[in-house]
Structure 1
Amino acid sequence: MKASQAVVVHGANDIRIESGPVAPARTDEALVAIAYGGICGSDLHYWQHGAAGESVLKAPMRLGHEASGTVVVAASDGSGPAVGTAVAIHPATPGGTGAKYPTDRPNLSPGCRYMGSAAQTPHNDGLFVGQLAIPTRMLRPLPEGLDLRLASLAEPASVAWHAVSRAGDVAGKTVLVIGTGPIGALIVAVAKRNGAADIVAVDLEDYSLGIARKLGATRTIDARDADAITAVEADLTLECSGNHRGLASAIAGTARGGRVVMVGLLPTGDQPVPMSLAITRELELVGSFRFNDEMDEVITALADGSLDVEAVITAENTAENSLAAFELAKDASRSSKVVLRFGEHES
């Protein structure tokens, strides 16, 4: 059985590159050689803290849920793409636990499993590995000309696409984006594609604001400048910092009758935010969590060039050098999206 290298987190500050056998594929699974994988904020949290929010590591887990690759063995039941097909991977497996949710929004299913997540036990191993068997329902074939490196952004770009759809029609509107890490930066790009007239990006880091400008921000504001944020009076605001101060800024910077989409995941528990202002302005506060089938639209937009996100990738490294890549990815003063390069795609 062929061995494959994987990026495995064992606990806080404990990432290891491990070699192990490639598990055989089931009849409805294809064997995929992973080409590129993007490091996400949740990967960083598992590495730095041994947990991402309420998802706490109880055993070693392979990281990664943003990836692209190539089918090397097709599914034996005839489903899914043929050998040699370049694919992006949708990492979710919706599922119920009896709790109520709208069935047309499977991202809200309470039993949903996500690759590279410790939300359930046993944990759901991720995509940071040279080769693995993946259910064909998760595979999204790539159009001709869409390179695998850019396609590794399909998952986070889908999160951004879903968030902008939760905001509504942005065409001709003033859009405020609080927090321009990778997701916030991608939201800027989606808002530009969808015709926003004025996109105002807010962050603490000049580096991140520079990326936002490359992706379509028309103005940028230092997050410490409360008066400038309040003066924006945005029609629609997307909060991506995952910090209560960011949410407070989002409320302050949104015009009366506007909408605030909460994308960044706040810590568990009560948060000190100015809700009275949201009430007296009749703001709509809505959540945005992961995505559903938006990946199909995202892949099309990446391929035809209408969604320009290349600037968000600021570094790439080999899987063997994952620790260095993670160290860079955690430093917002000098990086945005950092991608890992796997297996035969290494150079």
Structure 2
Amino acid sequence: MGSMCGMGVGDALGHPFEFAPAQDEAGPGRPRFDLRTMQFYRESNAFGLERGQWTDDAAMGLCMADSFLLRRGFDGSDMRVRFWCWWNRGYNNAFRKDTSRSSSVGLGGNIAKSLFAIAGARDKRDIPPAYEADTEDAGNGSLMRFTPVALCMHAAEWKMVHDVARMSSYTTHPGIIAAEACSFLAHLIVSALRLPPGQPTDVRAFLDQAAQHYLDESGLHAKSGWGYDQMKWLVTSSPRNMTERCWNWRSERLDIAGTLKARGRKYNGYPVSAGYFGSYSLDGLAMALWSVYHTSSFDEAVTRSVNLLGDADSHGSITGQLAGAIYGYQAINPQFMSWLNTWDDHEFAVRAVMLHHLGHSICKSL
């Protein structure tokens, strides 16, 4: 429940700051969320949402949860239909109880292309489980919605956890980097879900051990080439170049400013923008890891993440998924849950419980 609700909370806390130029530190006069006072300062709120409403991140996560539950496992074609219904029919958006609006918000460029690719289909059987394109789309769109995969696969063997994570990414993102990032996030969340209940967690030790375990269990340490090299830099928090210095999530300072300066005007063929910083999958995951690694509670982790600004709703959602899995549902601030429950009627939590039970059922049948 903590990870699923954390996804919604992180999205809802982050979207008021989406597109604000990314920053290393929040302070007076700057856009920020103040955890002590529960106040949002200098928010842009580009979509004009109410407290607790979510955007594409959590909405697509709900779509994935429904697909797992109704198809009793992974069905990429079904997921793609549900993503299309989210954008075109308002399915699982935050506005079911908001009579002032209905249209979904937050569609990103990579996912838009994947939805357009199936727009002419007349039968789900005509829709392939993966979006195929000759591009290396590595945005954060498959990470921001991810946790239903981990919740459903929590009792599976590691190879299945990693494989299904990758397949979930390929429904909208044809690139290997986004898929490998999902595989790593799956490992972290499932590792957190397998921690002994009720015992305090040394979060730094946990992340250090889980990252090393992923290197060994996934075979990443023995792989090389485009995508795998970048993943090793992230997993080990040891980037080789100044252009990826923000991937050193163990560092006390993420140094977004230094990263932006090193990248110049273009990076990996895309324009560099402080307002969109974190939209690249490995940047967004690094921001989430850094936020969790350098805090000791769910509330602190998500606050630290969204105060980095940039693509705040998405890296906020990723942070919420991971921190929620580590600290649990009860650790989420009641005010955050009150804001979310105004619009979801506890459906994030209910889906989490059902996914957890489905996961046991799936693994018993294998």
TM superposition score normalised by structure 1: 0.30
Higher helix proportion (structure 1 or 2): 2
Ranked by relative contact order (alpha carbons within 8 Å, sequence separation 6 or more), the top structure is 2
Report which of the two structures shows the higher radius of gyration computed on alpha carbons. 1
TM-score (norm. length: structure 2): 0.29
Give 1 or 2: higher strand fraction.
Answer: 1
